[in-house]
Every structure is written in structure tokens, then in C-alpha cells.
Amino acid sequence: MSLSTNFVRFLTPKNMAATMITANLICRPAITMSNKQVPEETRKYTASREFCTEFFGLVNNLVFVTFLENLGGQIAAKKETGQFLDKINLRKIKREITPNLNLKEQKIKTGILLASFIGTAASAAFFTPLLNNFVLNKFLDKIIKKENKNEENIFKKHYKLT
């Protein structure tokens, strides 16, 4: 198998989104912490928030989109063959490049890729921000202990919109 064949197998919406999220998971907090013009407390809070946001996005992408890929593949398999596939055959179709598949398997793979695209878009646009809004603020307040409970949020204090 050539390198290009392995690369083509990697090119799914889920994997590409996971690659970008991982790059942001590493780079955004590093860039934030390297900005010496911002106070240290604000940098720590912002870098922690960026890391957690990207981490939640990565977990959400991998879990939710994998579930949808399997569901999309099974729905396409049921429509094309009249029966559901076992995990081994579904995984084989998912990993094989399209020209090596017969027409029914190509349609199943199309169902998998379509579900991957829809799941990735829904994960990035809806589920990850929803998870961040419900969980992240409470989570960060427990991690970053405020000395004075009446003190205003450090991020809001230094980055007020005018």
C-alpha cells in the first residue's frame, strides 16, 4: 500500500476536523501564554478556557461523529442489501478506497461519508458550543479558585467590549 492510499483513507470529515482541533488544542494556549502584554492571571484563564474548549470539541467530534458514521453506514447497508452489516464488514468498507468497492459497497461508503460530514458540522456548530456553555464555566470556576468570590471575572475585566 502506498502512502497516498493511506492518506486518502484518512481524508474523512471527522479526521480532518479532529486534526484541526488537535492543532488548536496545542497552539492556541501556547500562543496565549506567550503574550507577555496580558497579565499572567488573564493568560492562565484564557489558555485554560481555550484548552478545555478544544478538548471538549475533540471528544465530542470523535464520539458523536463515530456514532453517526456507524449509523449512516448501517442505514445505507439496510437500504442496499436489506440487512445490517456486522462491525467487521462495516469497518472494512469504511477503510477501503472507493474504486476497490463494488456498487453496493460504494453506496454504503457514501452513506458513511455523508453521515461523517453531517455529524462533523453538527458537532462543530451546535453540540460543542452547547457543551461549553453548560459545562465549561462551572468547570473552570472550580479549577481556578477565586480568592474573592465577589471579584469580577478576570477575562471580562481585561477584555471589556467598548
For residue 3, being part of any structural domain is answered with no
What pLDDT does residue 133 have? Answer: 83
For residue 22, being part of any structural domain is answered with yes
Determine the structural domain holding residue 111 and report its residue range: 10-140
The three three-digit cell numbers of residue 47, written as one number:
489558555
Give CA–CA dist 4/93, Å, rounded.
18
| Residues counted in the chain | 162
Give the global pTM: 0.75
For residue 147, being part of any structural domain is answered with no
For residue 162, being part of any structural domain is answered with no
pLDDT surpassing 60 at residue 107:
yes
pLDDT surpassing 70 at residue 2:
no
What pLDDT does residue 106 have? Answer: 86
Count: domains in the chain: 1
For residue 155, being part of any structural domain is answered with no
pLDDT surpassing 60 at residue 161:
no
For residue 152, being part of any structural domain is answered with no
The three three-digit cell numbers of residue 80, written as one number:
442496499
pLDDT surpassing 50 at residue 147:
no
> How far is the CA of 80 from the CAs of 73, 85, 90, in angstroms?
10, 11, 13
pLDDT surpassing 60 at residue 100:
yes
**What percentage of the chain carries pLDDT values higher than 90?**
28
The three three-digit cell numbers of residue 55, written as one number:
478538548
